[in-house]
Structure 1
């Protein structure tokens, strides 16, 4: 292998690793510590919250539930407007959320519509149904019982 092929191979490999390294909340927390100061443990709760949806849907599309501008404001409601890191510095929760979303979404912050408009509709998703009141159900059941007697 020539030296140019080796360098190119290493560069491609490096890009691949960088592109895919944000797969764990702790990696995001390390990134926050580098960016805002402090230690990863200062940020892990917020980053874990963003990725919590992996528990029920272990696919990158789990991000549709929290990785958007509305999710960032939701995190702010849950964790407060700021956190104080281990060096005593106040960091806006929104900044931490923006960093997380941008690291996972190619440098942009989508809104919830960016995710939802890309859902492929299935017939069951738009079929409404009506529910009977308890009295209506009892009435229907009593009529059935009368017919069966």
Structure 2
């Protein structure tokens, strides 16, 4: 499902025109630049909404009809749920659990983070995947050149850094296994297994 189709869903539910919603839906799928399959959907989580989408676009937008639209609801109801057949919203831990821990253990997250330790807001943002999941490998989501040079400038207004980075987005996706639930909801992730069992039962 592409950003235009998601925007059409938003128009049907919330009024306005496609252009009101296209920037958000397009941005949510911008991670396709990093990974061409559905492993790219790391922003399709409540962590992604709370930590990235809302700080960039705000809690609400005003559509062409003059109506206030809740950005969190828009992301959940018009983008994430349709991508997973309206079955579930994955957690960041679902993605983190798909990352192979052994090769990631050789990456020096502490050295990467040390560069930014004087900036409390940035340090907290960089550590938020670990705080959210308890999984060290989840730091690959924020400790890389994409997050520092694309996401951080949008959220914290920092300037991009022109340098070689020790950790790259490819380190995240090269070490993330494809899981069946990522395939448009063909299965349920671990976070939704109990809910799925209750529905079936």
TM-score by length of 2: 0.50
2:85 is matched with: 106
Specify which of 22, 25, 29 is matched with residue 44 of structure 1. Answer: 22
Q: Name which of structure 1's ranges 94-103 and 41-50 shifts more when overlaid on structure 2.
A: 94-103
Partners of 1:103 and 1:26 in 2: CA distance: 13
Query: What residue ranges of structure 1 are gaps of 5+ in the alignment?
Result: 1-21, 132-149
Q: Classify 1:83/1:71 alpha carbon distance in 2 versus 1 (closer, same or farther; 3 Å).
A: same
1:145 is matched with: none
Q: What's the CA shift string for 1:13-41, capped at 9, x where partnerless?
A: xxxxxxxxx2x111100110001111111
Partners of 1:67 and 1:41 in 2: CA distance: 21
Report how far residue 128 of structure 1 moved.
4.9
Q: What's the CA shift string for 1:39-65, capped at 9, x where partnerless?
A: 1111000001100000121111100x2
Q: What's the CA shift string for 1:52-85, capped at 9, x where partnerless?
A: 000121111100x201011111211110110000
Query: What residue ranges of structure 2 are gaps of 5+ in the alignment?
Result: 112-201
Alignment of 1:48-87 (within 5 A): 48-63=26-41, 65-73=42-50, 74-87=52-65
Q: Could you say what the CA RMSD is over the residues aligned between the two structures, in angstroms?
A: 1.7
Report how far residue 96 of structure 1 moved.
0.9
Partners of 2:107 and 2:37 in 1: CA distance: 28
2:105 is matched with: 126
Q: Count how many residue pairs are aligned between Structure 1 and Structure 2.
A: 107
Secondary structure of residue in 1 paired with 2:61: strand
Larger radius of gyration: 1
TM-score by length of 1: 0.66
Report how far residue 120 of structure 1 moved.
3.3
Higher relative contact order (CA 8 A, sep 6+): 2
